[in-house]
Structure 1
Amino acid sequence: MHKPNVYIDEVILTRLENTFKATICCCCFSSTVEYEGIIQYLHNQERNYYDTLKFEKRIRSYLIGRFVAKQAVASLINEENLTNIIIKSGIFGQPITISNKQNIQVSITHCDDFGVAIAFPEAHPMGIDLEKINLKNRDVLERQITEDEKDLINVLPLSYETGLTLLWTAKEALSKVLKTGLMTPFEVLEISKIELQDNDIMCYYKNFPQYRVIAFTIGGYMSAIAYPSRTHMNLDICSLKEKFTFVNLNE
């Protein structure tokens, strides 16, 4: 059986008063066979829901989302059997983790055949998002930014579409921390400052100074992770990028 391209790594979250661990899982599927191979990892409750799905796009998004979430959670809690982990949906669509070890949460994102999840302790909230950098999305994304944000991305050494996608993913990531999703007006999640670093981009929120977001490109996609601003996050972005260099804008 073909196996999907999977990357799993530990993320260290250091604060003055404590240190936490999280786990990130990225996965790229390339065939129907790879999707079908994931069905065996579904819990009975998940399988019952899966059997009600009718449309291919929803089937694929469900499978890849559950797979990366289970892999991230399993790695964090040292669970060998993925079927022992259930990923349910809360009333706002947020993922709820059920396992024999409590207080573990997970944030999930997927786009096309690419999925990413980050599992973390409930004491240290986080959110993740992934979007394809696509010229076709320019008008839609541009309607969601403020004039101040437009000024911020216009001076960046990035394409305008990359800048727009950066802002979108940064806001989506925070909305997942807040568990509001797209129900929160995006101007409330406005970005006030952007700093380019060697391998990533750091963004800061105008109305939520207690959080910041680290963003980075993976092939032709932009990913963003929102987390508490006073946390030092040790994430091996270089290794993650190298794993998925084959994922490009033209696919």
Structure 2
Amino acid sequence: MAAQLNEQEAHRYVLMKSKRKQQQMLLSRALLSKALAHFDCTLNRAYEIFNYTTLILDNKSQTFAISITHSGDMAAIILSDQPLRLGIDIEQIKKRNFAELAKEICTKTELALIKTRKNIEADFYQLWTVKESLAKASLRPLTDLYQCDCSAVLMHDRTSIHWHGVIYTVTCLNLQGYKIAIVIDSKEKVLLKQI
């Protein structure tokens, strides 16, 4: 798969000191290649990924909205041939001081709800992955999302969140040892296909 990386990414790959980061890059590009096959497209060395939001294939006429994430031994992507705002985040569940982290990233409403639910680890990861995905979809700094009330995702794995004039559809998934959030702007009906 390394042979399919474009020149810029091949250079980044060689400079990576972490084997895990190299594996994550190759895994995400393998997923990208597989996803593109559903659009009758192929990934070859003549592609460009801009700001991790837009994929342009070599013919320059075909563009895709894209979001890429990786954590631990996993990688995930979301890809659309429509000009959508989208984001995806995957997090490997690890032991942490969730009470302190929650105070930093959560709104007062989220903190109050977390206290009533008594599962701070699951709630923290649910909120973190959603906020990370929203940051990617909205192209806003993650720290801005600390002010976004995402408490609805603690009650529903699929919901909507209004942020800076855009309504996003949020889908939360659990995978053994990982939490995943997918965010797509809701201006159009979108069919999600899992690969």
- Structure 2 vs 1, CA of residues 142 and 217 (structure 1 numbering), >3 Å: closer, same or farther? farther
TM-score by length of 1: 0.64
- Structure 2 vs 1, CA of residues 142 and 195 (structure 1 numbering), >3 Å: closer, same or farther? closer
Q: Which amino acid aligns with 1:144?
A: I
SS of corresponding position for 2:75: strand
- Alignment of 1:98 onto 2:98: no
- Alignment of 1:211 onto 2:172: no
SS of corresponding position for 1:105: strand
| CA offsets 1:138-184 (integer angstroms, 9 cap, x no match) | 2334421122112233445x8321111111111111111122343x4
Identity of aligned residues (%): 25
- Alignment of 1:143 onto 2:91: no
1:161 is aligned to 121
Gaps of 5+ in 2: none
Task: Give 1 or 2: higher strand fraction.
Answer: 1
Aligned residues: CA RMSD: 2.9
2:90 is aligned to 130
Aligned counterparts of 2:183 and 2:64: Cα–Cα separation in 1: 17
1:86 is aligned to 47
Aligned counterparts of 2:191 and 2:114: Cα–Cα separation in 1: 26
TM-score by length of 2: 0.80
- TM-superposed CA distance for 1:233, in Å, is 4.4
1:18 is aligned to none
Aligned counterparts of 2:114 and 2:189: Cα–Cα separation in 1: 25
SS of corresponding position for 2:24: helix
- Alignment of 1:108 onto 2:108: no
The answer to whether the Cα contact below 8 Å between 1:69 and 1:108 also exists between their aligned partners in 2 is no
The answer to whether the Cα contact below 8 Å between 1:141 and 1:165 also exists between their aligned partners in 2 is no
The answer to whether the Cα contact below 8 Å between 2:161 and 2:167 also exists between their aligned partners in 1 is no
The answer to whether the Cα contact below 8 Å between 2:2 and 2:26 also exists between their aligned partners in 1 is yes
SS of corresponding position for 1:83: coil
Aligned counterparts of 1:229 and 1:195: Cα–Cα separation in 2: 20
The answer to whether the Cα contact below 8 Å between 2:65 and 2:83 also exists between their aligned partners in 1 is no
- TM-superposed CA distance for 1:218, in Å, is 1.3
1:222 is aligned to 179
SS of corresponding position for 2:147: helix
Gaps of 5+ in 1: 1-37, 241-251
Q: Which amino acid aligns with 1:51?
A: V
